[in-house]
Each structure stands twice: as C-alpha cells, then as structure tokens.
Amino acid sequence: MIRQEDPPPEPSVTERADPRFARIEETSITDLARQMNTADATVPTAVASELPRITAAIEAAVARMSRGGRLIYVGAGTSGRLGVLDASECRPTFNVGPEQIFAIIAGGPQAIVDAAEGAEDDAEAGAWEMTDADVGPDDTLVGLASSGRTPFVLGAMRRARELGALTIGVSCNRDSELSALVERPIEVVVGPELVSGSTRLKAGTAQKLVLNMISTITMVKLGKTYHGLMVAVRPTNEKLRARAIRIVCSLTGADEEDAGAMLVDSGYDVATAVLRLRLGLSQDAATDRLRAANGRLDHALEESA
C-alpha cells in the first residue's frame, strides 16, 4: 500500500503520454485512424524481439502439459479478459475441456463484462485462487499484466511458484516485478498508447498475439492438428460441421457424402472418422487405436505404416 508520505510510483512505459498524440481531439477521424494503424503496426516487431523467450516458455509448457498438466491464464482488467478469450476459444478449436485450459480473472466471472478494477489490487486473492485451483507441478501458469506490477497477478504467480508450477509472465514493460518473479518472463515493450494508459490498445494487441502463440503452438505440439488441419475440432454448429467434412475429405480422399456419413457414425469425431476411412476400422477399433496413441491422429496413422 502507498503511504501518504510516499512519492507516487514512476509511471510505466504503458502509462506515459506520447507527445505525438497530445492533440488527438483536434485530429480528423481519417488521420486518427491512420495514426492508430501506424502505431499498431509496431506491435508485431515488438513481439518478434521476444521470440526466443516466447519459444522457451512454450517448450516448457508443452513438457508440462504432455504429462497431463493444465494451462491457466491469470490476469485483471483487459489482460484478464484476453486470457478468458484465448482459453475459451481453445475449446471448440482443439476440443479441450474447461478443466485443461482456463483463465482466472480478478473479480471473478462478473469482471469479464463489468469492470472490477479494484480487484486487481488484492494480492492475497490471487494467491488464494492458486490454492483453490489446486495448482501443482505439472501446471503452467501465465500471468498477464501489461504494467508488470498488478498485485493480483503477482500474488498468484508467487503462490504458483511455491506450489511448483511453471510460471510465465507476459508484460509490456522492461524489468518489471512480474518478470523478476516468474521463471519465464516475456516483455513485449510497445511504448505509450494513443490514449495514455489505455492498455486495451497496443499492449492488449501484443498480449493477444503472445497468447495466440502459446495456446496454438502448444496444442499443435500436443497433436491437436494434422497436416495443419483442425482434426480435434468440436463441430458444435453448422459452420464447424461443414469444416469437419472438408477436413475428412482432404485427409482421406472421400467425397462429401461419404465423409459426412462417416462423421455422423463416428459421433462427429474427426480423427476417428479419418482412421476408419483410411484404415477400414470399426468405431471401437478406431477409438482404441486413438486412445493407445494418446489421442494423436499422427501417431495412430504412423502405427499402420
């Protein structure tokens, strides 16, 4: 807590004002859109500078998850909502349950739609969430804080390390408290925002790009894709069912009618349908083969080569 006599903390890079944007209220919509687009274009370069650290973090996460561990995002405000977004999108794309990849946001589920900014100051609540989630040595915790000093996230990461979990920190400031606390720090420094302190802009974009890499590459390495296709997709709507049919056609050479019929008979499990069409297996035999291959279609097909 900051005492009355203490000087205010030095503003982080993401909180500083950029003089280029000092008169945005007087700028035309066209020029503002151009300025935002120019500013946003710097984000991928900032992410690229952190690729070695991102790669090391993903490698460590894959090792843990291959042993049955979970991927858990922890954040507050915009960062927390980005974690919720990325985790929820993994479910239909890679058919992982909510218990395998999920997010914890300061203030609880209501904070997803209603701002609960005060909740981010509670470090003890962050620590308690780790205990409540039964975090252990096989788990990977990704702390998200653009400032790198959000108490809720720091408390969570500190406790996660005590529990033996892998800790990754994603921030947008150099040498942050979060980076010093976690095993695998990632610092995507994107500089001041168009609206000073509004880290839902460049900082938010940077964090989403990093989360895309962490979740997608981890799932690829765990066998959730085959030949770049979403063979673990959960076809819960018409669009995804059509995609599933196209995937089966592409991997087996079957026409759409036969692929669709096999998908229905296989409970719309793409990998099972592919095995049955490629190898002429029954539903039970294909299911057993996939189970023996830990759900990986590539390994299940290799066994027949």
| Residue pLDDT tens, the chain, 305 long | 444 455 555 667 776 666 677 677 778 999 989 988 999 999 999 999 999 999 999 999 999 999 999 999 999 999 999 999 999 999 999 999 899 999 999 999 888 887 766 788 999 999 999 999 999 999 999 999 999 999 999 999 999 999 999 999 999 999 999 999 999 999 999 988 777 777 888 999 999 999 999 999 999 999 999 999 999 998 989 999 999 999 999 999 999 999 999 999 999 999 999 999 999 999 999 999 999 999 999 999 986 55
* pLDDT for position 303: 66
pLDDT at 247 (0 to 100) = 97
Class of domain 238-302: mainly alpha
Least Cα distance to 304 among 157, 243, 294, 290 occurs for 290
Residues sharing a CB contact under 8 Å with residue 197, sequence separation 6 or more, in sequence order: 14, 15
Kindly list the catalytic residues.
Answer: 89, 120
- Predicted confidence at residue 19, as pLDDT, reads 67
- Composition of the chain by helix, strand, coil, percent to 5: 55, 10, 35
Residue 160 in contact with residue 168, Cβ under 8 Å?
A: no
3-class DSSP state of 250: helix
Residue 7: what pLDDT? 53
Which residue's structure tokens are 């921030």? 171
Burial of 66 (0-12, 13-18, 19+ CB in 10 A): middle
What does the pLDDT read at residue 5? 53
∠ CA 40-44-49 to the nearest 5 degrees? 135
Q: What whole-number distance in Å separates Cα of residue 60 and Cα of residue 168?
A: 10
Counted residue by residue, the chain has a size of: 305
Distance, CA of 193 to CA of 42 (rounded, Å): 12
pLDDT at 176: 95
According to DSSP, the β-strands at 184-187 and 101-105 are: unpaired
Q: What is the pTM of this model?
A: 0.90
Q: State residue 87's pLDDT score.
A: 97
- Cβ(62)–Cβ(221) below 8 Å: yes
Could you state, in order of their start, the residue ranges of all structural domains in the chain?
13-221, 238-302
| Statement: 13-221 belongs to CATH 3.30.420.10 | no
CA 269 centroid distance within chain:
24
